[in-house]
Amino acid sequence: MGDLSLSASYRVAPAPPPTIPVRDPVGATWRLLRWGFALAKHDALLPRELTPLLPGWMKPVAGFIHLFAGKEGRDGRPGQRLGRAFETLGPVAIKLGQVMATRADIFGIEFARDLGRLKDRLPPFPTDQARREIERSIGRPVESLFLDFGDPIGAASLAQAHPAWLADGRKVAVKVLRPGVERRVTTGLDAMRLAARVVHRLVPAARRLEPEAFVETVARSMYLELDMRLEAAAASELHDIMEKARGDGMHMSAPRVVWDGVGKRVLTLEWATGMPMTDPEAIRQPGMDIDALADNVVRAFLSQALDHGTFHADLHEGNLFAYAPAELTAVDFGIVGRLGEGERRYLAEILWGFLTRDYPRIARVHFEAGYVPPHHSVEAFAQALRAVGEPVIGRAASQVSMGRLLGQLFEITALFDMHLRPELILLQKTMVSVEGVARRLNPDHDLWSAAQPVVERWITRELGPRAQIRDGLKEVLAGARALSRLVQDPPAPQTVIVEPTRTPTWIVVCITAATTMSAAALVLSLWTRIMG
């Protein structure tokens, strides 16, 4: 591809999300204590596996905490026990666990994989209560919108889904928020904010991970999930994006929004085409091409992220439906990732750099993006990147993980004072999820071959010679417009008036007297020497 120039948009790294103060410190402290007890009960606060690694003074403390462990704390690996503890603590803890599952670079591959199985499937609330929530939210009786409204088919920590049928015969899915869930989320996030401040103050090594910004990233995504009108807008936007991407050979779609059935606490979508990928029979449908399906999951995600800067950020099997020959339908649009121009270039350059083994280029991207402080050496950073990339070159595709590669990349950057970028959390989370879906479809799936056409197309279009000519023409046009505005509306001339200043008389008299007296004293001293 040649040496492609980098955009000036790299010059400034995006600002982290603003930090929100703890609203109720007393209540947040009490909830943190409850969280601590639940973690201790599941042996997830200081897991017994860590005891041999603890300093001597900490081992009695760990032994005391282990006394609180019940039956739940004796079964399974640490990640499995932590997942069960989070399931008992409600929606915020579940969301925290799901985000932690993306950070294999911090917690380890097995631990992250165990947390990745964290589910938020809970008992549903009554259908009559769901009907009342719908009527209160959309301001009309359920019967005026739906010919039939069924019992829930799935319940999560925030909402549950019902099948329904419109007057025109279309089958739809109606998503209804749980009563009182907003209060639980608000109080849970308050406790997380307090915990982040404690970690930031007491654990200096954790500051590079930006715990407070991490919490605000989780909070922002959860607040968006609590307003079904925003999720409806995201679903509509992603539907349009996926339709455009299908013109580029992508094979993912999204159901249309039924806007008459949308309110703050209610979302209505057309029924998703295909079978849920959680059903083992989904990949056994007649005419299904599993290899192409795995490719399409990866390419659809990368096309959304690179070409449009907006992507479905929760692409696991539970949110994907499949139908022959290799088509996908995505649902659940509560979490949407967004990348600016700089982050999109960052992602494309990183992937392309590893595909072509151009480590100096990857290093320059990090420095230009502002992710690595400028006082470090570009050459030394490129050497560290080579240590990450070379071990995977030439290995079988089934042994090379894109998520693990990015995790090792972030681990290496710790040596160069690279702070966690909150805007990249959802990107890595989704990439790990997509990779997991593709590998479960085909354990030998070549993730890099699947990604290469999308990345190469983006690089050619956005950073190739034609793009440089296009960007140059844009700068020329922008300069011409600025010059035209200057000619049409020249700046008003400014008259500068210079007024001589007059020294006050008393200052002149004082200076003259002092000078005269000094001269007289000098003459007298010289006169006595001459006469003597």
Give catalytic residues, as residue numbers: 314
Within 8 A by CB and 6+ apart from 358, the residues are 352
Element at 374 (helix H, strand E): none
Euclidean distance between CA atoms 62 and 53, whole angstroms:
11
Beta strands in 220-378 (DSSP E): 252-253, 266-270, 275-276, 310-312, 320-323, 327-330, 336-338
Residue type, 237: E
Phi, psi of 275 (to 5 degrees): -105, 145
What does 479-527 look like in DSSP terms, one character per residue?
HHHHHHHHHHSPPPP-----------HHHHHHHHHHHHHHHHHHHHHHH
Euclidean distance between CA atoms 276 and 489, whole angstroms:
62
Structure tokens that stand for 247 in this block: 């013109």
Euclidean distance between CA atoms 152 and 126, whole angstroms:
8
Strand partners, 172: 164, 270
3-state helix, strand, coil in the chain (%, to 5): 60, 10, 30
Strand partners, 160: 155, 176
* β-pair type (159-166, 310-312): unpaired
Please choose, from the candidates 81, 65, 61, 84, the residue with its C-alpha nearest in 3D space to the C-alpha of residue 73. 81
Structure tokens that stand for 186 in this block: 């608000």
Phi, psi of 302 (to 5 degrees): -65, -35
Euclidean distance between CA atoms 362 and 348, whole angstroms:
10
Q: Do you know the residue count of the chain?
A: 532
Element at 189 (helix H, strand E): helix 181-202
Structure tokens that stand for 242 in this block: 């996926």
Q: 171: helix, coil or strand? A: strand
